[in-house]
Amino acid sequence: MSYVSLDFLKDNFSDQKIVFFDIGCCNLWDTKDFVSVLPDATFYAFEPLKDYYDINLVRSVEYGVNFFNYEISDVDGDILFYPSEKQGQQQQLQSSSIFKPTIHNVVSYGEPYMVKSVTIESFCSEHNISPDFIHIDVEGAKYNVFIGLGKHRPKGIWVEMIGYRYYQNGRSDRYNIENIDYELDRLLQSYGYEVVFQSDNDSLYLHRDAYLKTRQYG
């Protein structure tokens, strides 16, 4: 579940025809809430997990969302995907990743399979669009996604910052005590973003050059 403030989205974007990317949209559970407060926005939702495919085809029509059974990463082409199954006795599909789990990960995983992957840059070029806001929750792979941002600079990015230490993503500082993705933070800052909100799990980045009705959060 995302904790991005629907009021913040509504205050800044409800009367605009923005392009909204929901990357790692799971079963569109959060997406439907974003749609409810941004009636004029165009939504693109991405989720490669096979288990969500059928339900997302139905819900995307119901919600008016453009759904793609894709992984967004730094790769254009097929990529190996590790589907999560359970945490203890509870179903836990939302921890799936393009990376193998580490010993710190307590979730069980099924057999990996190949999924289609695209970068933000190549997807936007193909569809002649550019995102105004990105909501992202991709386990351990956020840094890889934003390497492929290209020339695009959405006004806002809501990103889950924790969790990357649970995946074998080859990152040098993935075992820091705070479990904060400092490499991702530095990458986004190099693109011109600043943090306006940060919790134990999530961060909201706004581009310094973006015009917004309010940059205050919370």
Express each pLDDT in 51-72 by its tens digit. 999 999 999 999 999 999 999 9
- Residue 20: in which H helix or E strand, if any? strand 19-23
Q: Where are the domains of the chain?
A: 6-69+121-207
Could you tell me the two tokens for 50?
A: 């096979």
pLDDT of residue 179: 60
What's the topology of domain 6-69+121-207? Rossmann fold (3.40.50)
Rounded to whole angstroms, how far apart are CA atoms 68 and 44?
A: 7
Amino acid letter, residue 90: Q
**Of 37-41, 49-53, 164-168, which range is least confident?**
164-168
Q: Is the pLDDT of residue 182 over 80?
A: yes
Q: Which of the four pLDDT bands, split at 50, 70 and 90, describes residue 209?
A: very high
**CB-based burial of residue 57 (10 Å sphere; 0-12 exposed, 13-18 middle, 19+ buried)?**
exposed
Q: Which residue would you say has higher pLDDT here, 139 or 22?
A: 22
pLDDT of residue 176: 52
Q: Is the pLDDT of residue 174 over 50?
A: no
Q: What count of other Cβ atoms lies within 10 Å of the Cβ of residue 89?
A: 5
Amino acid letter, residue 91: Q
Q: Which of the four pLDDT bands, split at 50, 70 and 90, describes residue 172?
A: low
